[in-house]
Amino acid sequence: MPFADGGRLRVPRPDELIAAPPGTIPTVLPRRTPLLVGGHAARNRVALGALLPAGYTRLLLPAYRRQSDAPALPLFGYTFACVVADELHVAAMRTDASDDWTPRTFAPSELESYVASRRARDPSNAVLAQLAVCATTYGCFTAQNVFLERGEAALPVSPRCNARCIGCISEQDADAGFPSPQARVRDEADVDALARIALAHLERVPDGIVSFGQGCEGEPLLRVTTIARAIERIRAQTPAGTINLNTNGSLPKSLAVLIDAGLDAVRISLNSFRTDVYATYYRPLGYGLADVFESVRHAVDCGLRVSLNLLTHPGVTDDAREVAACDDFLSAVRVAMVQTRTLNIDPQRYFAAVGRPSQPPLGMREALRRIGAAGVRLGNFTHAH
Ligand code: SF4
């Protein structure tokens, strides 16, 4: 049995392993050898991992020894995987379900025809042009939803960001050694283009959601005036659906402007409730975790539907110090939901940055149980209700 990495090397417990769900992608970790019980590396083998489909939370990481000439690993959510009774198993648990996030397959040119017919209704819309790339090239579900007219639709708005996350999926330093999975949007979307897409979606999709702040962009709060005017224009024409913002929560005053403009819901991302671990990963420019917490508190006080987008990583999220900090925050600030998001990064690169736990971690199952015990809904997706 190979070792797993949970911040400390150990054998997975039976309750941490499930048969690999549909949509799981097995992956090898090049020039890395698996660590076996007993601690030795199996020289003639290559380490195995898996990438989970949406709706599952990773519980353990692959344990491996990196060879000196090993290439940097691209930004994926590497999960411990092994074969049990001739069947692939992964260390994961189901944490949410939604038809909208079930793995999708399209007949040849089916998606392209949805894109073409939607764009024909608004041919000069530059944001639709960007979303067409996101939908067809990156396979982004919320971009596809704009063309499929269902669920949560993407409204990317900001090329700039006031953070430099080590695992940013839209922009990486040239010397990072691995590319960002998506190219950061270059243009600043305008109010009219954003409002036209949002109105078409909210007026045609029951329980529709439109979300500013997507994987292909920077920080939307840096475009507060544009978003506020777009929200006002949308709400002047329809009360339907939900206007949501996905953000790093860095600018509480700007968030307050959007709340006054009519924002309904907000999802604020963080990798940790500890100031030092947060700063090490986000590398924030001109703000800190205290500002993020102030944004959460203000949105809760204003009655918004507030979710935290917790970037989870075994060995960090379930570190006893992290769980205690999470407990303290959730018992003081009543958010509606914690969405767990598997952090996409080379585990050894992340541990090198934020450190491994000084004590054996509590285990991801326990860390997630504690969130539920705080009376907070646990999941992975932004739901209409
Ligand atoms: S906050 Fe988002 S856009 Fe900004 S650096 Fe981090 S991941 Fe990238």
Q: Is the CB of 345 under 6 A from ligand 1?
A: no
What pairing do the DSSP bridges indicate for beta strands 47-51 and 9-10? unpaired
Domain boundary (49, 73, 94) is at 94
> Do 121 and 201 fall within a single domain?
yes
What is the CA(17)–ligand 1 centre distance, in A?
31
> Do 270 and 355 fall within a single domain?
yes
Q: Is the CB of 168 under 6 A from ligand 1?
A: yes
> Do 220 and 294 fall within a single domain?
yes
> Do 209 and 233 fall within a single domain?
yes
Q: Is the CB of 218 under 6 A from ligand 1?
A: yes
The two structure tokens encoding residue 349: 């690169």
Question: Which range of residues forms the domain containing residue 68?
Answer: 4-94
> Do 148 and 293 fall within a single domain?
yes
> Do 90 and 114 fall within a single domain?
no
In a domain, 228, yes or no: yes
What is the CA(161)–ligand 1 centre distance, in A?
6
CB 146 within 8 A of CB 100: no
Distance from C-alpha of 247 to C-alpha of 260, rounded to nearest angstrom: 17
| CB crowding 52-68: b at 16 or more within 10 Å, else e | bebbbbbbbbbbbbbee
The two structure tokens encoding residue 8: 């400390």
The two structure tokens encoding residue 291: 């500002």
pLDDT number for residue 39: 64
Domain boundary (67, 94, 121) is at 94
- Residue 266's nearest CA partner among 169, 195, 335 is 335
Q: Which residues contact 372 (CB under 8 A, 6 or more apart)?
A: 378
Q: Is the CB of 166 under 6 A from ligand 1?
A: no
Residue keyed to tokens 């019980």: 37
Q: Is the CB of 250 under 6 A from ligand 1?
A: no
The two structure tokens encoding residue 330: 């959730």
> Do 61 and 179 fall within a single domain?
no
What is the CA(264)–ligand 1 centre distance, in A?
22
pLDDT number for residue 2: 84
Question: Within the chain, which residues score under 50 in pLDDT?
Answer: none
Query: Is residue 50 classed as helix, strand or coil in its secondary structure?
Result: strand
The two structure tokens encoding residue 107: 């007949």
Atom in ligand 1 nearest the alpha carbon of residue 162? 4
> Do 284 and 158 fall within a single domain?
yes
What is the CA(96)–ligand 1 centre distance, in A?
24
pLDDT number for residue 132: 97
Tens of pLDDT, residues 320-341: 999 999 999 999 999 999 999 9
Q: Is the CB of 161 under 6 A from ligand 1?
A: yes
> Do 316 and 198 fall within a single domain?
yes
C-alpha torsion sign, points 95, 48, 347, 14: positive
In a domain, 384, yes or no: no
Inter-CA distances, 309 with 304, 316, 320, 336, Å = 15, 15, 20, 12
Whose Cα sits closest to atom 2 in ligand 1? 218
Q: Name the amino acid, one letter, at 241.
A: G
Whose Cα sits closest to atom 3 in ligand 1? 218
In a domain, 125, yes or no: yes
- Residue 157's nearest CA partner among 226, 210, 209 is 226
pLDDT number for residue 112: 96
Domain boundary (64, 94, 124) is at 94
Atom in ligand 1 nearest the alpha carbon of residue 171? 8
In a domain, 290, yes or no: yes
Where residue 330 falls (left for φ over 0; alpha for ψ -120 to 50; beta otherwise) is alpha
> Do 77 and 188 fall within a single domain?
no
What is the CA(306)–ligand 1 centre distance, in A?
19
> Do 88 and 116 fall within a single domain?
no
pLDDT number for residue 98: 79
Distance from C-alpha of 351 to C-alpha of 360, rounded to nearest angstrom: 15
Q: Name the amino acid, one letter, at 311.
A: L
Task: Find residue 268's DSSP bridge partners.
Answer: 247, 308
pLDDT number for residue 159: 96
Ligand 1 pocket check: which of 162, 168, 223, 287 to mutate, most ligand atoms within 8 Å of Cβ? 168
Q: Name the amino acid, one letter, at 203.
A: E
Whose Cα sits closest to atom 8 in ligand 1? 168
Atom in ligand 1 nearest the alpha carbon of residue 248? 1
In a domain, 115, yes or no: yes
The two structure tokens encoding residue 362: 């509590």
pLDDT number for residue 113: 96
In a domain, 385, yes or no: no
Query: Is residue 312 classed as helix, strand or coil in its secondary structure?
Result: strand
Number of domains the chain is built from: 2
Q: What is the CATH number of the domain that holds 209?
A: 3.20.20.70
> Do 105 and 81 fall within a single domain?
no
In a domain, 47, yes or no: yes
pLDDT number for residue 36: 82
Atom in ligand 1 nearest the alpha carbon of residue 184? 3
Q: Is the CB of 160 under 6 A from ligand 1?
A: no
Residue keyed to tokens 């819901």: 265
CB 313 within 8 A of CB 62: no
